[in-house]
Chain A
Amino acid sequence: QQQVKQSPQSLIVQKGGISIINCAYENTAFDYFPWYQQFPGKGPALLIAIRPDVSEKKEGRFTISFNKSAKQFSLHIMDSQPGDSATYFCAASPGTSYGKLTFGQGTILTVHP
């Protein structure tokens, strides 16, 4: 019940296309949902995050869509660029904890020029 399931495992997109990564959770205590971007050899970097009081959050080319009833959330990367090629992790945290993050398995995104 603590798991966060992420799909797809890998994604190839052409430059300018839309990248979509999906996550699903079961623990209804989760109420903070960040996305992290990780380049090889680097630590995860916070990209964008959402709380369940809104259904969508947009920051530049990155949008999180959140469906509370379905317990799903997704990351959309508009106008994908080769520089977006990285591993993306969704995560979730319950409000009752001291911020413990449960991560998804990760999605390796490759954007071809």
Chain B
Amino acid sequence: EPEVTQTPSHQVTQMGQEVILRCVPISNHLYFYWYRQILGQKVEFLVSFYNNEISEKSEIFDDQFSVERPDGSNFTLKIRSTKLEDSAMYFCASSAMGYNEQFFGPGTRLTVL
């Protein structure tokens, strides 16, 4: 069964450092998403991406964040200068159509020290 994969599973970084979280969406999907979940809290939408551009972003997704689909398979989330409050689980998701089921990856746990 096709699945969304994410690397690394756990990333530890120092405050102010740049991190890149990587995702491989399901191969025939066209819509891609990043969500985050602070420990013990609900899952929050960050950004959606379609046709090589951002289609929607939340207020959390400020200038420190960027997304990219550098090739036909990967989808990345970059945080330019990490803050302590960026510590969370980051989930990538993909869907075949925007108005359809989203499938989530296992997540990357980001710890900012």
Contact = CB atoms under 8 A, between A and B. Distances in A.
Interface of A: 32, 34, 36, 41-46, 49, 89, 91, 93, 95, 97-106
B61 to A, nearest CB: 11
Closest 3 CB pairs of A and B: A43-B104, A98-B55, A98-B98
Nearest to B4: A43
Contacts of B4: 43
B18 interface: no
Interface residues of B, number: 26
Contacts, number: 63
Interface stretch (B37-45, B64-72, B80-88): B37-45
B105 to A, nearest CB: 5
Contact of B42 (A32, A42, A46, A106): A106
Interface string B1-21: 000100000000000000000
